[in-house]
Amino acid sequence: MLYMWATPNSRRVSILFEELGLNFDVTPVNIRAKEQFAPEIVALNPFGKVPIVVWQEKGEERQLFESGAILIDFAEASGKFLPLSQKERGETLSWLMIALTGLGPHSASAHYWSDLAIKKSAHALEYHVNFTARVYRLLDDRLAEHSYLAGNYSIADIAAYPWISVSEWTTLDLEEFPNLANWYRRVGSRPAVQRGMSLPSGITLD
Ligand SMILES: N[C@@H](CCC(=O)N[C@@H](CS)C(=O)NCC(=O)O)C(=O)O
């Protein structure tokens, strides 16, 4: 069972599950309605956030939260999208961490200050947009030489893609980063990515 909402961090996991061909159910957790703080969700993730995965493995129930942990765990278990060789694995983890700790949090903060905050702060907006632009430049430079962030298509691309899909939240123009824009179209042409991005079915973030 994947607990998720129509948000970038959740869709990292639905994309990976679609790529792996897993048969999984989705429980929508409406974060705008604060459903992430319901006792049954907090019991699964004490941080009160999605995504969360609960599944049976060798007759035992397992549960995981934090999108990065879920991506690494399922990639390792399947032997896909995270190379086995130490050198390539390390390189993939470096780019995964850029997506997890740079792209995601600063895009989210740029979104907060550009749209969600009731009390605006031009300084806070500028700080997070500039930081996000620094990450976009890094990815754009990297993708000038590589088709994917870490050699082959991997969980680094899967972690970055849903955040680039909401580039307008950051006030940045994706087309000003042409290699990143081309990568975005390349990754977005994958049927599994399209299916993962359409979950939870029929729900859009308001
Ligand atoms: N680092 C966490 C972040 C998860 C996160 O912030 N999820 C958002 C939705 S994308 C959420 O649950 N927000 C509700 C809240 O923070 O209360 C991850 O990657 O899983």
Domain definitions of the chain by residue range: 2-80+193-197, 86-190
Ligand 1: which of 2, 5, 49, 103 to mutate, most ligand atoms within 8 Å of CB?
Answer: 49
Mean pLDDT of 108-126: 95
Percent of the chain whose pLDDT exceeds 90 = 98
Domain 2-80+193-197, CATH among 3.50.30.30, 1.10.8.60, 3.30.70.940, 3.40.30.10: 3.40.30.10
Each residue's pLDDT tens digit, 17-27: 999 999 999 99
Average pLDDT value over all residues in the chain: 97
Mean pLDDT of 62-79: 98
CATH class of 86-190: mainly alpha
Report residue 48 as tokens. Answer: 């009160």
Ligand 1: which of 50, 106, 163 to mutate, most ligand atoms within 8 Å of CB?
Answer: 50
Each residue's pLDDT tens digit, 83-98: 999 999 999 999 999 9
Q: Is the pLDDT of residue 206 over 90?
A: no
Using CB distances shorter than 6 Å, the residues near ligand 1 are: 5, 7-10, 31, 36, 48-51, 66-68
pTM of the model: 0.97
